[in-house]
Structure 1
Amino acid sequence: MAEDIAGSTITWTEGGVELSAGWRSENRSAAPTQVKVIGDDITADAAFRLARSGIGLLWRGDYHNGRQLMQALDRRFTRNHAGRAGSGRGRGAARGGRRTGRGSVRADAAETFSAERAFNAERSRLLGLLLVELGEGYALELRRAPEVRPACEAAYGVSDGPMCMSLTELGGVLSAHQWQLRGVAIDALGERIHPRYGVFSPIRGEYVDLVATTPFGSAPPATAFDLGTGTGVLAAVLLHRGIGTVVATDINPRAVACAQENLERLGFAGSASVVEADLFPPGRADLIVCNPPWLPADPTSALELGIYDPGSLVLRRFIDGLSDHLTDSGEGWLILSDLAEHLSLRTRQEFEECIRAAGLQVCDRYDTAPRHRRVSDADDALHQARSAETTSLWRLRRNA
């Protein structure tokens, strides 16, 4: 990720006066060094030219017009990128896929993945240059602006003064707050889990279902660890299934607070503890569950830590450290998508060799197909890999 930008400021000139405010960027983008104040009279083409040159655009017009301008910038960026990539049609061609006469994308999977990531990073950088200012108490002084204070306080805490941020980030904060209030239905619990901003939401239910249905054996284990708990959903499922006590860990302070809230709301506060830790807590457990990030690539924000794992480091650390934290008859449940294998980012041989080198054996495996909407999106540059994806729960034990 980019360097820490905590405490940085953004400056601009407005009405002949130089002004400044704090700079907020969840993906740790640096504040733009040049800022131009714009309003409803600017054309989308003019705004696009300014943004392409790296100039921040501080929006002072109608809030909904600002959102429409953001969509117009997105369309121009996609068209411009498609024109540079070639004459093929569709998002796959725009992101570097090579098309045959029949229209199918023919490209190395890893190259396609890299091109997709590069496209999204460039798109995020450009759209992130459309800015808004929030005043004291997160006041958004734009015509027809929504009330953003509750959502911003939920994401960032109490306001510490005026700040500027991208309109895309503000939209993410507002959307996340709606998910936090509404919650995500979890069939295995018959309840809802409420994700916080910056915490990976359990909308991909297949991995939850694997933990909910994999058999324990003769009886539920007495103790369990849930590593990288996020919202606490897997810890809640384990407790719902009758495990005595669960220790849930996460390196993200937002996730720790989120998991604590969810477990308390579900009535599990007495049998669960949530601690901020980098993977394993102290001690041993009868069952250790981990759903690590599944793609070996660099994350760009705290939220992406739930998806991207540079060099498969978290995965390897879990496998290497498992034996030292299991009881004598204990078992590890590793929930992992094989999407990285279909993208040529990691091989099955490398994965299985890592398990053998750690002195572990696979005693069983349960598979499920993903159900998220991108599996059926044929226009997705990674459609071929996604359509072949399998999510598995690997049951691991020490070698006898």
Structure 2
Amino acid sequence: MNRIAAAPPAYEDIVPYYAELCALSELRKKPGFGVPLNSGMGGHLLLYLNGVRVDRSSGYPVIEVVPPGADSGRHGVAISANSHYRNANWVAIEDRDFIFRGALAPGEALTREVYERTQASARERGLLDGIVFHEHFFRDKPPGMSVEDFKYEISVATDYGSTFGRNCYRARVPLDTPRMERLVAFLNELNEPYRTGKRIYHWRIFNDNCVHMAHNALAAAGFWAPWPTGQLPVLAAFRFPVPKNALVDLALRANDQPIENAEALFANAEARRTLVETGGLPTGPAALTSAVSAVAANDIYDVRRLRLIFYDNPFWGRYRGWFKRILSEPRYTDLKANLRHFAQRYQLAARDMPGPAGWARGERAQFRDAYAQYIADEAAKVAEWQASLDAGRLDGRALLARSVA
């Protein structure tokens, strides 16, 4: 009897729910085909959510969490906030492969035929159904091109097929179901006033850009404080979020809080509140960073030396050093190395667990109980994931690669 071999596991088999910031480089389209498009070197940001799907039954994108056990790890959407939209802060694009590679087959060059095939597929999927663009964008619409075709034309390589013309850097963080539900609820509420016509969306680089949306969605899941929108431009210009900074911020937040040091966590008011109220912390295992280059064999886009800048001091700013470390140290990029790293940290935390002295009453006692439970739960989770990896006989990079388009 012939036996059908089981498919090797993917990251989603171990972590079905996760959020991923995807920082996209600048975009430069070659002349002579379609609408000419070039973007700034600040790039664009997608928020990819695994374990989430889109409900388009109302004629407008609404997202929902796939129930646990319902093949949740095989669903995912990218959330994109774009200056094009009049009646939405964001749109949702399904299918991880299509989000990043459009209709491009493995090993295939990006030709005009693939480009047109991708846009035809996007229209068939109804990715922009119910989304109204600001009128001024249609000033550049070529004669004879329909409004709908133009909408999909200026969205490709940004909202979908993103690596057609852009490099992509990703920082992913696992989520449990309650945190993903809070994140999804925030995003649906964010779109609601634009959906109902109560407000018109106006993208603003300093006050309401693609990173504000993603940062504040993660804030709803407990990762950090919200980034305010609506500030005076003269004030917001001194500090505003950009894609590459956001990627580094999330990778560090998810990996580098002092989880083995109870006293340091208690002294941090935000960490203390988060742990007591939610039972968890933003730092934890399986938060990984990866990078994917734009399609090299490319008839449509110029993909040489694509820039993606930091908003940082060019002389003594810290982001460049952090970024280099994140991409070079295996604990940030390899799942097995990451799990070993966190297993050791939880062992240290258990060894140095605070005793009753000084932690017996009031807020300190409450924190200690939450901390002890948190360390025990996280250590057990890491052991379970390590066993799953060992059973699959795959290294951590290979496991991650199976889920990276």
Fold match by TM threshold 0.5: no
Which has the larger share of helix?
2
Larger RCO: Structure 1 or Structure 2 (Cα < 8 Å, ≥ 6 residues apart)? 2
Which has the larger share of strand?
1
Q: TM-score, normalised by structure 2?
A: 0.28
Q: TM-score, normalised by structure 1?
A: 0.28
Structure with bigger gyration radius: 1
